[in-house]
C-alpha cells in the first residue's frame, strides 16, 4: 500500500493561525499539584506478585538497555528554543511517514508516564500502518518558488517527502490494534502497564469486567497526543480522520486481515491536571461515555510536577457518535 491518504484532497487544508512557539516541546501540557503519587512497581518482591506482574517486570528488565539508549537519543532530538515568541504558521494534515519518526517519538514518549517502554518500536509501528493516523504539520514554504510551480503531482510529492525534515509536527492522532501483541513487545509492555494500574486502582468487580473486555474483544489503542497551542479548528478533522482511516483500511486488497480493524472498543490514556481539568476537551466526552475508567496521580521525574492519568475503555460505536458531532465542541473554544 502506498503511503497515501484517502482524504488527501479534501483535508489537506491550510489553517493560518498565530500560535505561541513551544519553548520546550517535550512538555506538551501544563501540569499542576497532585493529591497523591503512585508508587513505582519496579523491584517489588515476586512472591507477592501475580503472573502478569512478574511477566511485566521481566519485560521491563529486557528493555532497560534499549531505553537507556533511547533516552540519550531523546536529549539530542530536543528542538532548539525558537527565538521569536510568535509565528505565523500554515498547517496541513498528513499521514505518518519515516521523516517524522523523531517527532512522533517525542509526542508518545510519556504515554506510560515515567514507566519505560519501547518508544521507538511503537513509533515504527505507527508509521508502518501507512493508511492509519494523522499528523498536523506546518506546510512547506514553497509556494513562491518558481521551480516548484510546474511540477506534476508525483514529482511534487517526491519533493514534499525530501523536505519533510523542515516541517514541525504538532500532534498525532491514530489507533493501533492492541490485540496484536504476539510479535510486538512494545504493545505487551503497554498492556502490562495498563493491567497493573487497573488491578491497583479499580474495584474488584470492575477489574474482572476490565480484564474480560481487554482479553476477549477487538481493542484499538487510541493515541491522541498534541501540543496545546495547536489551532483548535484542526482537531475535528484529526478525530474524524480516525473513522475514515479505519473504513478505508478495511477496504484495501493488500490488508491481510481487515477484520482486525473491526474494533469493539478503544482504550485511551488521557492526561489531566491534578485538579481534574481536561487539557483536551474531547477526552472528557470520551471518558463520560466510557464503560470503565479509572485515574491515578503521577509525578514527572524531570521536574517533579504532578498530574493525573485516566485510562478508559470506550465502545468504538460511541467514539464514532462523539466525533461525528465534535465540531460544536471546538467552535466553543475558538
pLDDT digits 0-9 by tens, 183-239: 899 999 999 999 999 999 999 999 999 999 999 999 999 999 999 889 999 999 999
Distance between CA atoms of residues 256 and 299, nearest Å: 41
Domain count for the chain: 1
Q: What's the pTM value of the predicted model, to 2 decimals?
A: 0.73
pLDDT score of 57: 53
Residue at 240 is within a domain: yes
Tell which residue, 243, 202, 236, has the closest CA to residue 222.
243
pLDDT score of 146: 62
Which residues, at least 6 apart from 205, have a Cβ–Cβ distance to it below 8 Å? none
- At 22, list the grid cell: 513551544
Residue at 3 is within a domain: no
Average pLDDT, the chain: 78
Judged against a pLDDT cut of 80, whether residue 312 lies above it is answered with yes
Residue at 2 is within a domain: no
pLDDT in tens, 73-109: 444 343 333 333 333 578 999 999 999 999 999 999 9
The burial class, CB within 10 Å (0-12 / 13-18 / 19+), for 186 is buried
Judged against a pLDDT cut of 50, whether residue 6 lies above it is answered with no
**Do 242 and 173 meet the contact criterion of CB atoms below 8 Å apart?**
yes
Distance between CA atoms of residues 117 and 174, nearest Å: 18
Residue at 270 is within a domain: yes
- C-alpha 87 chain-centroid distance: 25
Residue at 1 is within a domain: no
Residue at 27 is within a domain: yes
Strands 135-138 and 219-226: unpaired
pLDDT score of 88: 56
Judged against a pLDDT cut of 60, whether residue 176 lies above it is answered with yes
pLDDT score of 143: 57
Distance between CA atoms of residues 111 and 270, nearest Å: 9
The winner for highest mean pLDDT among 16-25, 51-60, 299-308 is 299-308
pLDDT in tens, 40-63: 444 444 555 555 555 545 444 444
Domain that holds residue 26: 8-331
Q: How confident is the model at residue 39 (pLDDT cuts 50, 70, 90)?
A: very low
Amino acid at each position: 500500500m502506498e503511503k497515501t491518504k484517502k482524504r488527501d484532497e479534501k483535508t489537506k487544508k491550510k489553517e493560518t493561525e498565530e500560535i505561541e512557539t513551544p519553548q520546550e516541546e517535550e512538555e506538551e501540557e501544563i501540569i499542576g499539584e497532585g493529591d497523591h503519587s503512585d508508587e513505582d512497581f519496579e523491584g517489588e518482591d515476586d512472591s507477592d506478585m501475580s503472573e502478569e506482574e512478574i511477566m511485566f517486570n521481566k519485560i521491563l528488565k529486557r528493555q532497560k538497555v534499549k531505553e537507556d539508549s533511547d533516552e540519550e537519543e531523546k536529549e539530542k532530538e530536543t528542538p532548539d528554543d525558537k527565538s521569536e515568541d510568535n509565528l505565523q504558521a500554515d498547517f496541513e494534515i498528513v499521514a505518518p511517514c519515516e521523516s517524522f519518526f523523531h517527532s512522533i517519538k517525542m509526542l508518545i514518549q510519556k504515554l506510560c508516564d515515567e514507566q519505560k517502554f519501547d518508544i521507538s518500536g511503537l513509533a515504527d509501528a505507527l508509521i508502518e500502518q501507512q493508511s492509519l493516523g494523522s499528523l498536523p504539520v506546518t506546510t512547506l514554504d514553497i509556494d513562491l518558488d518558481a521551480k516548484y510551480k510546474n511540477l506534476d503531482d508525483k514529482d511534487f510529492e517526491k519533493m514534499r517527502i525530501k523536505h519533510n525534515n523542515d516541517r514541525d509536527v504538532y500532534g498525532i492522532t491514530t489507533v493501533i490494534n492492541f490485540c496484536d501483541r504476539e510479535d510486538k513487545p512494545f504493545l505487551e509492555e503497554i498492556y502490562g502497564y495498563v493491567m497493573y494500574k487497573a488491578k491497583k486502582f479499580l474495584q474488584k468487580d470492575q477489574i474482572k469486567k476490565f480484564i474480560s473486555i481487554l482479553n476477549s474483544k477487538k481493542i484499538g489503542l487510541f493515541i491522541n497526543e498534541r501540543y496545546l497551542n495547536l489551532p483548535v479548528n484542526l482537531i475535528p478533522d484529526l478525530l474524524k480522520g480516525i473513522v475514515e482511516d479505519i473504513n478505508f483500511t478495511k477496504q484495501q486488497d493488500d490488508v491481510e486481515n481487515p477484520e482486525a480493524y473491526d474494533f469493539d472498543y478503544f482504550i485511551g490514556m488521557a492526561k489531566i491536571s491534578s485538579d481534574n481539568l481536561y487539557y483536551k476537551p474531547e477526552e472528557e466526552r470520551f471518558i463520560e461515555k466510557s464503560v470503565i475508567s479509572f485515574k491515578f496521580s503521577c509525578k514527572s521525574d524531570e521536574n517533579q510536577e504532578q498530574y493525573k492519568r485516566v485510562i478508559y475503555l470506550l465502545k468504538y460505536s460511541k467514539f464514532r457518535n462523539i466525533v461525528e458531532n465534535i465540531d460544536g465542541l471546538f467552535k466553543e473554544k475558538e
